Structure 1
Amino acid sequence: MPLQELQNYAKELHLLFVEDDVDARTSTSEMLKNIFTHITVVTNGQEGIEKFQNEKFHIIITDINMPVMNGLDMIEKIRQQDIKIPIFILSAYNDAEYILRAIQLGIDGFIIKPLIYQQFLTVLKKALEKIHLETLAKNYQEQLEIEIKKQTQELRHKLYFDDLTGLCNRYALFEDLKKITVPILFIIDINGFKSINEIYGAETGSFVLQEFAHFLQHFTAAENYKTYRISADEFVVLDDCKYIDFEKYEIFLQDFFREFASFRVVTEQDIISIEVTVGMSTSQYNSYEYATIALEYAKKHKKQYMMYSNTIDNRSAKQDILIWKDKIKNAIENNDIVTVYQGIVNQEEKAVKYEALMRLRDEDGTLISPYYFLDIAIKTGLYPQLSSYVIFTNLKKIKEIQIPIGINFTVNDIKNKLFIDEIEDYIKKNPDVGSLVVMEITESQSMENFDDIRIFIDRFRKYGVKFAIDDFGSGFSNFENILNIAPDYIKIDGSLIKDIDKNEKSFILVEAIVEFSHKLNIKVIAEFVHSKKIFEILKSFQVDDYQGFYFYEPNEKII
């Protein structure tokens, strides 16, 4: 290695040089100054220990025989504190006993006096190269960690905050609702907001929303309520209360409308006033749903606000549950629970795997999505039969056709110990199946049950099973925990994909998710790809695989 390169490697390093002989110390120091900029010189091992404990050194060169404390004793004490620091012995004593102990202490080189300059440079070269590479690796790791932390923070901000108003968004609302025992929720809808955009333009419309958001934040600040923008013209005010005081919230609404009566937005074109309608829920469960019902009722009956109660809820939910329960039971008995398959393609549009999707075949032959019956199956205790049929049907299908298939697993499946034992037993007995199985778990469920999911994944990974986090981006409950699971695939939720060609926020967010996932060696699958334009955008992001009607519609046969 040229001297100049050695000097470049050593210029930031601090050297501790220990030598008792004046002449040797002087001559060697001069030689070392040709390489090192920072050199500390001491005359015995005791001084060396004291310096080492009080200063930061990157490399040590020491004699052996010295007064007070010899070099080998000093090295032994230093090794107790730092096992990795490069240490070289420079000594005229080369008997076997010295060399053996030096080796046992883990020295990096033994140089015999009188010092030969070129020999010394050769020995030193390896140490400096090692330190240089370790420094580069450490710096790279630190920069990577900083970048990951920065991108995580940026993603979290994009996911939980509304870009236009700065308020928390819909994702944040539903995450907060999970943490609150008694939520008091107000949905505030701006009446006829579409007309403002049509009359004054989108820019003015956005300004009106920003001004209303400021008004709402200011008005609720004294009560320490939290405010959200959950859609274009809908806002939410949320209180985490210890007990429900109906009179307090009635007064809050009256005060709100009294102060809101003077709210105006001044623009270059006009002075704009707006009207709002409020729906309120004090329910411990389904508070957002109930507030929405109250809002719709208030709008329909031309009221400023309405509090949810059973008397305004005209849904026939219980009746629907009974009807669906009978449908599901009949479908199970008549083998009308079927599986359809949707192809997942690579960038060359070649199908590389399939996702198995459950359907219920109705009396007229229509295939019904589980969206309409899965929750009812869970509530009525019929879900285990559905799940067992679909999962084992597809495990057998994989064994038959030897093609990778993604199978959806819910937390109910994962927590069913006997069922999971049966699946493991089947995969054990059929070793050619495991490596072709992709178990898909939805993001929201994986975050709510992180420990269970992690144990489940660890249990099946040893059989070659791959794992995908499904509907990624639909909730983002805990992004860091998802990364700790280390899935093989992330399937970006269709809500982010379907309008990525028109929605700048979705465009930026998906691009960031892909880049971040690839840095962590996680492959990305985009769902809901329904046009060539969207496919081309996703290809430009280097998305790995694609799923959607643009390529395949779900079919009972694998095509």
Structure 2
Amino acid sequence: MTVCNPQKDKIIIVAEHDSVSAQQIISTLTSNGFSDIRHVNSGEKIYEILRPFHDQPERIGLIVLNDSLPKCQLLEMSQSLSCATDGSVIPFVILRSSDSADSAAYLEQCQSEASSCLTYQISTPVDPQLLLLSINFLMRLKQERFLRHQQEEQLINELASKSVIEAKLKFLVAHDELTGLFNRNSFERQLRLIMNLSNKLKKEGALLFIDVDRFSLINELEGFDVGDRLLVELTILIRKLVPTSNLFARIGADEFCLFLENKTKKQAYIVAETIRTTVENFRFFTGEICYSASVSIGITALDNSMPAQHPGEMILHSRQACNFAKINGRDKIRIYNQEDIAIKERRRDIYWVPIIRKALRENDMFLMFQPVVQLNNGDISHYEVLIRMRGDEGKTITPDQFIPVAERMGLIHAIDLWVVENAIDFLAALPSYMSRISLAINLSGTAFQYPDLLQVIRDKLELTWVDAGRLTFEITETAAVDNFERTRDMINKIRDLGCKFALDDFGAGFCSFNYLKTFPVDYVKIDGQFIKNLDNNETDQILVKSMVEIAGKLGKKTIAEFVETPNIALKLKEIGVNLGQGYAFGRPERTLLDSHQVSLAILLNSQKRRPIDTEFL
């Protein structure tokens, strides 16, 4: 955003025959940034300056006029120029050098006409401060009158062939009141006719969905009136770039649709790029502020091999393309492609969101538990809590299908809270002889950005009397690093309750060791990419060993995930990893076993795959 004052580039005419007074006025204006000042010493010379700008009245800013100026008809001149009701109005600052009859009569007439004239009288000798205030005030009034005239003229041109009242009512039924463009309903009706004709005649065409970037910022900073003026000016700007025969509509607050007949995708992209570049170079002035604007554009074309059945479908596709242009940085153009991964992902999101909401509402989620084993003796340390969702006909839906959607669509925090509450309820419901059982709960990367998480954990622990030490919360390394300070603060508060923490996927990031030394966690969970081939990959062994050594020196225990075979488990024990988790020890289950049954289950499970050293167990 750049700041400039276009008013100070306007022509200021100083009509003063007193050379000393004229020089003082010119000096005052120059020192305050006015760059185009014209001095005259008679009334007839004022018209000499004005004539070349008869078709550009906006170039003239204001006239400073001495009421005793020679060859000047004060009343006639000021009334014809300053009392105009259209954009040609020119304000006057009248310097009263005497109590002249003309000046007094003019003042009395202005008062009797409720002062529709843009004039202001000050006495001489001129007070520089009062002069500047008068000039700035009158020039702003001129600018507002000019802009109002533009909007009124636009509406009048649209309705010129009919009576104003009747035509306006009919016009507003089919058009947007602010811009004069088609509204959404009218646009869809017109587009349906064009699509039907194009499908029959195999004609080409393309739809541009245009969204004004960060438009809400203008409304917040300057108000809705200024935002409306910006939309009007952008509408006029775009209209000049395309033939008037093309359908153009405003279908949302800052959203427009433009249908280009007989245009291919490539031709439509060229038009879109022209619009994008023109808007990018456009400057919008309000008061002393100058704003730059930009648009994101999505394009979809008529496909005669697979004709769209409804205009809403075509609008939806172009809107999706526009959304992806905004996601990728705004001020960009995107062509819709149904094979685009982002498009498929969005369709997938649309499919899964109601299913996730229903599962949360009807409690169609459930927990499963996978043991985390102490590698030195084979005993269960704790269980990791894993979430599943019930599908149709009792089908189990795994988290890889719905968690990414929940993260993108803002549902993940509700899932986080559901898991926390149900995991604590599960511990509270266990019989007393299983009171040693503890759980590790995965939390999303955004969980610690919500202050209600702390309150939910605190309230649930107080309500159930569950020992906070039986809860370990896992957070991924990348999520911790992305919001380091805020996450660390929330973790410290939750640890003050007595809970423990594990840093999940350790090693997946690039700043692991640097953050580990100051991060308040009890466990370091080594990323599975270093574990899967540990028994055959010397590089992985070296990296895991370094992680174990550093974590140990920092007083943190290490957990290896994805332990799939007994050989990997033995190698981890040899390296010094404290805990292991994976199919070598047990798959996720709905229920827990007591300690003796757990050890037996691990042994049998391992023997089914391949023999394992009994000394290890």
TM interval, short-chain normalised: 0.3 to 0.5
Q: What is the TM-score normalised by the length of structure 1?
A: 0.44
Q: TM-score under structure 2 normalisation?
A: 0.40
